[in-house]
Amino acid sequence: MKNTVLTFAQAKEKGEKLTMLTAYDYSTAKLIDEAGINSILVGDSLGNVILGYEDTVSVTMEDMIHHGAAVARGAKNALVIIDMPFMSYQTSVYDAMVNAGRLMKEGRAGAVKLEGGVEVCPQIKAIVGAGIPVCAHIGLTPQSINAFGGFKVQGKSEAAAKKLLEDAKAVEEAGAFAVVVEGVPRKLADVITRELTIPTIGIGAGNGCDGQVLVYQDMLGMFSDFTPKFVKRYADIGEVMKRAFQAYIEEVGNGTFPAKEHEYSVDDSVIEGLYDSGSKTS
């Protein structure tokens, strides 16, 4: 069944958990979609796990459109949410609308996601007003990593916790259909989840959120540069891939690949004809 923003609203109402994973390409999106996920996030984490940057700051609109459109072609039932990259919406409401529109038209998104609380509410309001669903993202927002001074859990002091609750309420009021809550203490995420009527999607925010999201390379053991505490490894695909690559290298080296079953055949007369006197070889 096709997932939409209504699926999110109904899940919150019924107390059913929502599932989300990231994807950045057609084949992976197809696999995740076929597994029955509610939503696929084309996260700007592609800067880290696909493009090899240290953070998400350098990710461009073109990157998001290119990967977003590939994911959209692979996802038949999941709601595809594409991240708005750094400086594609912070600069003005006008920029936010133009760029959200591009992610919908060129990236074929079902919704967009942007980071921030009270300060980005004018942008959320305007984008939602244009008929584009917005997923908000509060807490440890990676685009602000330079302002935070690193990947640090947010909302640990009373003042910071109050500000996060205020942000959560503000993005709901501005019209967001869901909010990703990243890197905050479980008890604070629980309060935010209780106080909101839109679903919270947690990542490093404990089990009390209305749904969960993970970066798929993290949960499959395919990205080893940095593994946060909140990641659960569901498989060690990185090791499986490495072993397969090694087997291929070995078999090509020792001549056991390709084997008979991987070869195409041709009638012997064709080959014999190549040596007949006067035959043309071009």
**Residues in the site for ligand KIV, rule: CB under 6 A?**
22, 41, 43-45, 83, 137, 180, 182, 203, 213, 215
Distances from the Cα of 48 to the Cαs of 52, 84, 142, in angstroms? 5, 15, 11
With respect to ligand KIV, which residue has the nearer C-beta, 233 or 243? Answer: 233
- Please report the beta strands in the chain, taking only residues with DSSP state E, as ranges in sequence order: 18-22, 39-42, 79-83, 111-115, 134-139, 178-182, 200-203, 211-214
Three-state secondary structure string covering 190-231 = HHHHHHCCCCEEEECCCCCCCEEEECHHHHCCCCCCCCCCCC
CB of 40 to ligand KIV, least distance (A): 11
> Minimum Å distance from CB 13 to ligand KIV?
23
Rounded to a whole number of angstroms, the minimum distance from the CB of residue 274 to ligand KIV is: 56
Taking the complex as a whole, how short is the minimal distance between the CB of residue 217 and ligand KIV, in angstroms? 10
Residues 24, 52 contacting (CB under 8 angstroms): no
Tallying the residues shown for the chain, one arrives at 282
Q: Which of 134, 141, 56, 138 is nearest to 97 (CA)?
A: 134
Complex with ligand KIV: residue 67 or 125, whichever CB lies closer = 67
Residue with smaller CB distance to ligand KIV, 226 or 245: 226
Active site residue 54: no
Catalytic pick from 54, 166, 182, 272? 182
Smaller CB distance to ligand KIV: residue 85 or 185?
Answer: 85
113 vs 99: CA distance, rounded Å: 11
Positions annotated as catalytic residues are 182
